[in-house]
Amino acid sequence: MYSWQMTQLNADFKLVESSLPDVNNTEALVRIAGCGVCHTDLSFWHYGVKTKKELPLTLGHEISGKVIAGDPKWVGKKVIIPAVLPCGECELCKKGRSNMCQNQLMPGNDFHGGFASHIKVPSKFLCEVPEKVLDKYSLRQLSVIADAISTPYQVIKKSELETGDLAIVIGVGGVGVYAALIAKIFGAKVLALDIDDEKLKIAKDNGIDSILNVKGLDIKTIKGSVKDIAKELGTSKFGWKIFEMSGTKAGQELAFNLITFTSTLSIVGFTMDKPDVRLSNLMAFDAKLIGTWGCKPELYPEVVDLIATDKLKIDDFIETFPLSKINEVFKNTLEHKYKKRSILVPDFE
């Protein structure tokens, strides 16, 4: 097997070759089909966020592949590996919050991840990919389910979004565009905000109700435009569901400033920067501010079903690259040169 390991902050990934690991009956050895590039990977590689396992480490947590050894229940099956692998036994797991299990294991953080030819993982919470989905998409394309699709799916369910609500999605890149599409599937009227016309056009072309480029606009102007759009869409001026996906200080400050009476603001994007907000607005508007971490494995079959039933299409939002181009892809991602979610595909054994 081979993997591309991060040895130090901001350094190129190094190719490492090794023998396939041994696995027991509670583990699975997965031959990787594809692994998506996530902002979390950039946070580890470039921004100094520490991994739980000391370096050197193979990053990557958005993984699909085929089980080739280990747990006999899984051998031969094509699977998605959840980005958060809980224990299933602790207090949080038993309370339905398995995504926050304090014994959780995350590929590319707690152990070697998916920018490799193979990976060894616990088999307990793997998600099988049915053939009816593979008739529509390749297994490598479906790697985005592990995070880019499942994470917004979980937060939209947590937000208690209802049919007819106004859903405001800030940042419609590789994860945010799925938030917008899933909100639409749930029956919301969806407004996408971004600073990139091309990303907004992709969202609009895929059925999002309204778009607004906020580049260079002040908060007052944006709030006025959002109120006008809400009225045009026939939604209430109360109870907006706001999803901050950009992972930027500016995006988070904008999201907070859009809170109105009984709003719910969901923070999904990650940044090390600290926004300047007045928390008393939550009190004044009787609003809610919630976070989310990954997606509990129990929800993955629901996400797969959205794709299986053609409610959610993924073709227009992903592009694949050979895994051997990892250094180039990471640098280009850091420089915002891609408009779609990048998937790295092993190109030699």
How confident is the model over 325-335, as pLDDT tens digits? 999 999 999 99
> How far out from the chain centre does Cα 150 lie?
6
Q: Element (H or E) spanning 120, and its range?
A: strand 118-122
pLDDT value for 146: 97
DSSP state of 36: E
In the chain, ranges of CATH 3.90.180.10 domains? 2-147+298-345
Share of the chain above pLDDT 90, in %: 96
Q: Element (H or E) spanning 62, and its range?
A: strand 62-70
What separation in angstroms does the CA of 309 have from each of 133, 141, 185?
A: 8, 16, 12
DSSP string, 299-339: GHHHHHHHHHTTSS--GGGEEEEEGGGHHHHHHHHHTT--S
- Cβ atoms of 119 and 32 within 8 Å: the answer is yes
pLDDT in tens, 32-86: 999 999 999 999 999 999 999 999 999 999 999 999 999 999 999 999 999 999 9
CA 298 – CA 316 distance, rounded (Å): 27
pLDDT in tens, 126-138: 999 999 999 999 9
Considering the domain 2-147+298-345 in this protein, what is its CATH number? 3.90.180.10
In the chain, ranges of CATH 3.40.50.720 domains? 150-291
Examine the pLDDT at 7 and tell me if it is beyond 70: yes
pLDDT tier for residue 271 given thresholds of 50, 70 and 90 = confident
Q: What is the pTM of this model?
A: 0.93
CA 117 – CA 30 distance, rounded (Å): 9
If you average pLDDT over residues 262-286, what whole number do you get? 95
CA 349 – CA 301 distance, rounded (Å): 30
pLDDT tier for residue 349 given thresholds of 50, 70 and 90 = low
Length of the chain, in residues? 349
If you average pLDDT over residues 99-120, what whole number do you get? 97
- Cβ atoms of 275 and 256 within 8 Å: the answer is yes
pLDDT tier for residue 324 given thresholds of 50, 70 and 90 = very high
- Cβ atoms of 245 and 159 within 8 Å: the answer is no
Share of the chain above pLDDT 70, in %: 100
Considering the domain 150-291 in this protein, what is its CATH number? 3.40.50.720
If you average pLDDT over residues 198-202, what whole number do you get? 94
